[in-house]
Amino acid sequence: MKLKITGAISAVIILFIASCQSEESIEFRRYYSSGALVYQTHCQNCHGINGEGLSALIPPLTDSIYLKNNKTALACYIKLGLNRPITIKGRTFDDAMPAAELSPVEIARVLTYIGNSFGNKLNTINEQAVQADLAKCE
């Protein structure tokens, strides 16, 4: 009897975890694939098809440590643009990135895309997270 109950409980737990995970991965896949389109139309001309950047003019998007350390600031960089010297992969960049006219959900999509492409692994950056980050832009 006891065994049966434990068995049932563990089955339920397993089911929960499984459905949770798949929901998460569905969300991820949705953000990621639509983010690829946002990237193509709004970012790829500058940052390149493989996130390689352009010489010393435009930084690559391959500095996983920089992206991780600045994860909660990235939404503001996209929304307001960025114009100050930054160090990416040990090199300094000081040209301006113009502000992008994108909605919070589009920003979330493109950040999920770049955050999980080019060797990066930031997982899903969803709309709620972007909304919260945008509220704190300097």
Partner 1 sequence: MKNLTWVGLIAIIFGTACKFNTGDKTVLPIYGNRRPVTKMVNDKPVTDTLYQTISKFKTINQYGDSISNKSLDGDIYIADFFFTTCPSICPVMHRNMLNVYNAFKSRGDIRIISYTIDPKHDSVPVLKKYADKLGVSGNTWWFLQGKKDDIYKLSESYLVRKPQEDAKQQFIHDGSFILVDKQKRIRGAYDGTDPKQVEQMIADIKTLQNEPDQIIAQ
Binding site for ligand HEC (CB under 6 A): 42-43, 45-47, 58-61, 63, 66-67, 74, 77-78, 82-84, 86, 88, 93-98, 100, 110, 114
Question: In this complex, which beta carbon is closest to ligand HEC, that of residue 30 or of residue 71?
Answer: 71
Nearer to partner 1 (CB atom), residue 34 or residue 44: 44
Stretch that binds partner 1, among 6-14, 22-30, 53-61, 71-79 (CB under 8 A): 53-61
Tell me the C-alpha to C-alpha distance, in Å, between residue 15 and each of 3, 8, 11, 22, 33.
18, 10, 6, 11, 27
Cα–Cα distances in Å, from 98 out to 41, 78, 112, 126, 137? 14, 8, 20, 23, 16
Look at residue 59 and give the partner it binds from partner 1, ligand HEC, none, a contact being a CB closer than 5 to 8 Å depending on partner kind.
ligand HEC
